[in-house]
Amino acid sequence: MARVVVDVVLKPEILDPQGQAIVGALGRLGITGVNDVRQGKHFELDVEDSVDDATLARLADTLLANPVIETFSIRRT
Amino acid sequence: MARVVVDVVLKPEILDPQGQAIVGALGRLGITGVNDVRQGKHFELDVEDSVDDATLARLADTLLANPVIETFSIRRT
Amino acid sequence: MPLRIGVVTFPGSLDDRDAARAVRVSGAEAVPLWHADPVLPDVDAVILPGGFSYGDYLRCGAIARFAPVMRSIIPAARRGLPVLGICNGFQVLCEAHLLPGALVRNDRRRFVCRDQLLRVQNASTPWTASYYLEQEIVIPIKNGEGGYVADKRTLDELEGNGRVVVRYAGGNPNGSYRDIAGICNEAGNVVGLMPHPEHAVDALTGPGTDGLGFFTSLLRVEVRA
Amino acid sequence: MRVDTVETAEQTPEHPQPYKELGLNDAEYARVRNILLRRPTNSELAIYSVMWSEHCSYKSSKIHLKQFGEKAPETDALLVGIGENAGVVDVGNGWAVTFKIESHNHPSYVEPYQGAATGVGGIVRDILTMGARPVAVMDSLRFGPINAADTARVLPGVVAGIGGYGNCLGLPNIGGEVYFDESYVGNPLVNALCVGVMRTDGIKLAKADGPGNHVVLFGARTGGDGIGGASVLASATFESAGETKRPSVQVGDPFAEKVLIECCLEIFAADLVVGMQDLGAAGISCATTELAAAGTGGMDVALDRVPLRDPTLTPEEILMSESQERMMAVVTPDKLEDFLAVCRKWEVLATVIGTVTDTGRLRMTWRGELIVDLPPGSAADDGPVYRRPIERPLDQDAVVQVDGRGLPRPRSGDELRNLLLRLVASPNLADKSWVTDQYDRYVMGNTVLAQPADAGMIRLDETTYRGVAISVDGNGRYTRLDPYAGAQLALAEAYRNVAASGARPLAVTNCLNFGSPEDPGVMWQFADAARGLADGCRALGTPVTGGNVSFYNQTGSTAILPTVVVGVLGVMDDVRQHITHTFHTDRAPIYLLGDTRDEFGGSEWHAIHGFLGGRPPSVDLAREKLLAGVLIDAGRRGLIDSAHDLAEGGLAQALVESCLHGMVGARIALPPGANPFVALFSESTGRAIVTVRRGADADFTGLCATRGVPCWRLGAVDLLASDLEVEGLFRASLRELRSAWSSTLPARFER
Ligand SMILES: Nc1ncnc2c1ncn2[C@@H]1O[C@H](COP(=O)(O)OP(=O)(O)O)[C@@H](O)[C@H]1O
Ligand SMILES: [Mg+2]
C-alpha cells in the first residue's frame, strides 16, 4: 500500500476568488507580508502498489482535476 | 519572496463525503486498487522573506484551517 | 419599550432583511449592525443572519469571525447576551468558538433548499422558550455546508446537557451528526441553527409561521445583557 | 514590445492584420478601413471585431427583430423599450419592473459550472444597470437525452453553477424549465432570466452625457478572461511576443457581484451617476463605445489606468477581456468624491479611466500614445446588417406529413394507466425538484410562488401587496414542426401560466436559440419564429421589451431544435389573491376549460416513442385571451381555489401534478363519447383545469359562458382518497404516481 498525494491548482491565468478572499482577510487578521494566495485542492490516496503512474494520471485528470481550468501534480510519498 | 505551501486535511474521524464520492466513481471509471481518497485543501502563498514561521503557523491555525476538524502542514518551497 | 434586537449585516449577508422583518413581526425593534462597526450599540440581543458573509469560499464564517463587529459581540455573548446564529450565523459562531463543532459540506455535496420537519429538543433557551419540548415544526433549510460535525465527546456532552436545541426529523438533509440542526452554548444564551426560522413567519411567503417562536421567545424570558 | 498606435497605423497602411482570425470578413475589414480612412490599429481592430460579432451586433437577426417594435401593441405600460440593456414596465403605484432573459449556452458546454454561473451574473448586471434592484432569477435549460454521457457531465454542473451564483447573490430562483432532447447533445442551452424592481423615477440609461464628466470603471480587476481570440492579435502582430495563452473560461465571483449590487444600489439611491453600463461580452470595448454613442458622443480613455489582474495584458486584450463583475459609470465632477466613498465603503475598487467629450470620437491612449481614435457609433450602432438567405428546409414537408398516426394508441384502462405512469416518469414531464432544490427560493422573503408553480410570483411592496408573476416557456419540438406556430405556442403557454396564477400578463422577453444563421434552413426557422412571436405579441397585447439571440448552436451541420424561450411578466394587484395549482379543498368540483382536439404533433407521447412529426397543436390566441380573462376574474372574485394550465402531457399530467403537490386524490369522468386517450393526453392549447369554491358553480359557469370559454365538469377533489380515479378506466395510487414522477432525475443524477 502506498500513499499518493495529488495537488490540484487553478491554472495561473484563471481567476481565483477563493485566494483573493483570503488575501483580503489577512489585513483584518493583522498579518502583513503575504502578497498572494492561491487555493487549490489536496487529495490523499491509499493505493495498492500495483496501481501504475498512468492510472494515477488518468484518475487525476478525470476525477480530481477539471483540466479546463486546473492542473495537477502527483507525488508518491 | 518565498513560496509557501499549506496543506489542510480533515481529521480522520470527520466524514469526507467528497472523498467518498471519488472512491464511488472509481468503479465507473474501471480503476481498481485505490482504497481510500481524502480531500483537503492546498494553498500556495507568496510571502516576503520577513514572514516568520510563527506567523505562518498562526495564519494556518486561525484562518486556513479550522483546528476543530482539520490539521495542516506548512512547507517552504 | 420594545426589545431591541441587533441584526448584523456582513457584505455577503443575504437574509439580514428577512431576519429584521421577522424581528418586527415578533413585535421587537430591529437594529441594523454593520460588520465594520466595532462598537455594539445598546441592544437586548443579536442575530447573525444567513448568507455568505465574505463570500465564504474558504470555509463558511472563517473570515466573518474576524470582523470588527464580532470583536464586541464575542465578549458580550460570553457575558450572556442572547445571540442567535442562523445558517451562516451558526457557522460564524462555530468558527468564533462560541459554539463547539463545525459545519461541513453536505453529505450529498449539493446545496439543498426544502421545507424541513424539525423537533424542538430544548425549549428553555431565550430563543426557543415559545416552543414546547418535542414540538414538531416546519421551517425551510437552505445550505450547502450544513453538516454538523464534532468529536464524540463533544456530541455526548451536548446531548447530556440538553444543548441540542433542534433536531432534523423526517430525514436528515445534510449528514449532520446525530441529526443535529441547532445547538446552544453551556449558558444557553448563544444558539446556532441551520434552518431558517425567518423564512417561516408568514404563510404567504413561507411554509407557515412555525418559525415565529424563535423571535417571540425573547419576550418570554428575562433578557440579561 | 511596441504598441500599435494610430501613428504607426497611418505609416504602415499595408501592414497585414489577422482580421479573419478575429471573425471579420473581407468586406467588414474594408468597411473598417473606410470608416477610419486608414488601417485600424490592433486595438481598433479588437473593438470592431467584438462589436461587429454576431453576438454583439445582431447582424443576422436585426432585420427580423425590428418587427417586435414595429408590431408592438399600444400600451402605456412600457417605460423603456427594446434597445436598452433591458425593457422597463410600469406595474402601477409608482413601481417599475425590468426583466430580461439571456443565453450562456456555449460557455456552459465548455465549463458547465462556471458557464452557467457567469450566465446568471451577466443577466443580473444587465438588470442592475437599469437602476433596479434585482429581485429574482429564473432559468430555462436544455440538455441532451437524460442517459447521454454528455448530460451527466453538463447538467449537474450547470445546475450547481446557477444555484451557486444565484444563491450567493441572495436572489430567489422562482422558476424555469428543464428539457431533454437529442439535438442538445454538445449544445446545451442555458438561458437565465432576471427581474428587477425600481421606482418609475429611478430608471437609469446607458449613456455618457456631459463633456467633462468622469468615466469610472469599478468592480473586479481586468484579467485575461474569455479572450481566446485576442491572442491571435498578440501573436500575429508582435514578432517576438510568442504565443500568449489566455483562458477562455470566465470564472465567476458571486461575492464580488453581491457587493457590486449593493454598492450600485447605494450609488443610485444617492443619485450619483449620469449613466451606467455593465461590462459583459466585449467588456470595455462595448461599454465605452455604447456609452459614448448614446451620450454626448465622445470619450477620452487612458486605457493603461484599467486595474489589471494580470499585468502582462496588452491593450487589445484589455479591450476584449470578458472579466466578470465589472461596471462603468459616468459621474459629474462634483459627485465623484461621494461616488468613490460609496465604493470604499463596500470595498469595491473604482478607477477614473476617462472623460466624456463632445468631439464625436472615442479616443484611447496607452502610456501616452494614441491607440484608438474612432467614431463610437460606427462600432456600437452602425455595424454590418445582413439579410441572410432564407430557404424552407427540404425535409420540412416530410417532417410535417409523417404525423405519427400509425403509432399504437392505448385503449383499455390498463393500457391508459400504464401510459400515464410512463409519461409522468419521462424526463421532460418528471419532477424537477432534484434541480430546483438546489436553488434558494426563500431569500428576500417575498416569494409567493416558486417551483413547481405554473408561474413564479414575488411581492414588490409589503404594504400594498402589489407583485409580479413570471413564467418562461418554450418547446423546441413544436417549433421544429412549425416555427411560426411554435413561437406562438411558447408565448401562449407562458401567458396562460401567468394568468393561471391570477396575474394580468403585461410584457414579454425572449431568447431565440438557433443553429447557424449561414444555413438558409435555420434562417427560415428563425425568420418564421420571429414573425410568429411578433404577431403573437400583437394579438395578445403584450409587447416584447427585450431579449437575446443565440446562433451557432449546432454540431457539424446539425442544428439544435429551434428553441424559442418566451418569458411573460404579469402584474398582481394583491399577491394575497394568488392561485396555486394544488388540489386542497375536499369535494371541490374540478372543471376543464377549453377544447380538446386530437393533437399529438410534437407531443410528449410522441417523444417517448422517439418520434417527431406532424403539426403542433393549433394556436388560437383570441381563445387564450378569453381563457386568461376567465382565470384572472374568477381568481379575483374568489370563485376558484386552484388553477393549472394544460401543456405537455395534457390533462393527465396536469391532474397528476395538482394531486401530487398536496398528496390529495381526485375522481374524474371523461366527457361521454370522448376518446379517452385523446381526452387524457392530447396537448391542445388554450386549456386549464380549475377547482371551484363551494357554492360558486353557477357563478363560475356563468362567467365561462359570457366569455365564450367552454367548460366541462370533470369530477371532484377527494381529500380522503389515496388515488386518482378516471371512472370506468383506471385508478392510479398517489404513492405509485409520486414514485414514478419523482424518481427519474434522482435515479440518474444522484451519486
Ligand atoms: N430576441 C430578442 N427580442 C427582443 N429584443 C432583443 C432580442 N435579442 C436582443 N434584443 C435586444 O437587443 C438589445 C441588445 O441586446 P444585447 O446586446 O444582448 O444587450 P446587452 O448587451 O445589454 O446584454 C437589447 O435591448 C435586447 O433586449
Ligand atoms: Mg447590457
pLDDT at D428 over 90: yes
Alpha helices in chain C (DSSP H): 16-25, 68-78, 88-95, 152-160, 213-220
Query: Best mutation site among D168, D342, D451 for testing chain C: the one with the most C CBs within 10 Å?
Result: D168
Burial of D225 (0-12, 13-18, 19+ CB in 10 A): buried
Residue A50 CB neighbours (<10 A): 9
Q: Per the residue annotation, which of C60, C87, C94, C184 is the catalytic one? A: C87
What are D13-45's pLDDT values in tens digits? 999 999 998 899 999 999 999 999 999 999 999
- D584 catalytic, yes or no? no
In this prediction, what percent of chain D has a pLDDT beyond 90? 89
Give residue ranges with CB within 6 A of ligand 1: D 56, 65, 68, 82-85, 100, 126, 280, 510, 512, 544, 546-549
| Beta partners for residue C182, in sequence order | C166, C193
Q: What is the mean pLDDT of residues D1-24?
A: 91
CA-based nearest distance A27→chain C, Å: 10
Confirm or reject contact between C205 and chain D (CB < 8 A). yes
- The pLDDT, as a whole number, for residue D230 is 52
Q: Which residues contact D210 (CB under 8 A, 6 or more apart)?
A: D274, D295, D296, D330, D332, D356
Q: What is the spatial distance between Cα B22 and Cα B43, in angstroms, rounded to a whole number?
A: 21
Backbone angles phi, psi at C98, to 5 degrees: -80, -25
- C87 catalytic, yes or no? yes
Q: What is the mean pLDDT of residues D552-559?
A: 92
What are D578-607's pLDDT values in tens digits? 999 999 999 999 999 999 999 999 999 999
Q: What is the mean pLDDT of residues D501-509?
A: 97
- The shortest CB-CB distance from D223 to any of A15, A21, A69 is to A15
Rounded to the nearest angstrom, the distance between the alpha carbon of D469 and the centre of ligand 1 is 22
Distances (CA, A) of C155 to C88, C101, C124, D94, D111: 21, 9, 20, 54, 41
Mutate to test the pocket of ligand 1, among D82, D130, D276, D551 (most ligand atoms within 8 A of CB): D82
Burial C101-111, CB ≥16 within 10 A → b, else e? bbbbbbbbebb
Nearest ligand 1 atom, CA D85: 22
- The pLDDT, as a whole number, for residue D680 is 98
Q: What is the spatial distance between Cα D163 and Cα D212, in angstroms, rounded to a whole number?
A: 42
CA-based nearest distance D603→chain B, Å: 35
pLDDT at C31 over 50: yes
Burial D414-429, CB ≥16 within 10 A → b, else e? ebbbebbbebbbbbbb
- How many contacts (CB atoms, under 8 Å) link B and D? 3
Rounded to the nearest angstrom, the distance between the alpha carbon of D85 and the centre of ligand 2 is 4
Contact: D309, A21; criterion CB under 8 Å: no
pLDDT: is D40 or D86 the higher one? D40
Mutate to test the pocket of ligand 1, among D279, D548, D550 (most ligand atoms within 8 A of CB): D548
- The pLDDT, as a whole number, for residue D239 is 36
pLDDT at D670 over 90: yes
CA-based nearest distance B23→chain D, Å: 11
pLDDT at D674 over 60: yes
Burial of D145 (0-12, 13-18, 19+ CB in 10 A): middle
Which ligand has its closest atom nearest to the C-alpha of D56? Answer: 1
Q: What is the mean pLDDT of residues D692-702?
A: 96
pLDDT: is D236 or C63 the higher one? C63
Supply the residue whose CA is at minimum distance from atom 9 of ligand 1: D548
pLDDT-based confidence at residue D226 (cuts at 50, 70, 90): confident
Confirm or reject contact between A75 and chain C (CB < 8 A). no
D621: nearest Cα among D491, D486, D481: D491
pTM, rounded to two decimals = 0.94
With vertex at residue D644, the alpha carbon angle to CA D589 and CA D536, rounded to the nearest 5 degrees, is: 130
List, in sequence order, every beta strand (DSSP E) within chain C.
4-9, 29-34, 45-48, 83-86, 102-104, 112-120, 136-143, 147-149, 164-168, 180-184, 190-193
Radius of gyration for chain D, computed over Cα atoms and rounded to the nearest angstrom: 27
Q: What is the spatial distance between Cα D396 and Cα D398, in angstroms, rounded to a whole number?
A: 5
Q: What is the spatial distance between Cα D299 and Cα D292, in angstroms, rounded to a whole number?
A: 6
pLDDT at D245 over 70: no
Q: What is the spatial distance between Cα D552 and Cα D214, in angstroms, rounded to a whole number?
A: 38
* Alpha carbons within 13 A on the beta-carbon side of D147: 1
ipTM entry: 0.92
- D55 catalytic, yes or no? yes
In this prediction, what percent of chain C has a pLDDT beyond 90? 92
D668: Cα separation from own chain's centroid: 37
Residue D407 CB neighbours (<10 A): 11
pLDDT at D242 over 90: no
Average pLDDT, chain D: 94
Backbone angles phi, psi at D135, to 5 degrees: -125, -10
pLDDT-based confidence at residue D246 (cuts at 50, 70, 90): low
pLDDT-based confidence at residue D547 (cuts at 50, 70, 90): very high
Return the minimum-mean-pLDDT range out of A28-32, C11-15, D113-117, D680-684: A28-32
Terminal Cα distance for chain D, rounded: 52
- The pLDDT, as a whole number, for residue C222 is 60
Backbone angles phi, psi at D337, to 5 degrees: -60, -40
- The pLDDT, as a whole number, for residue D228 is 61
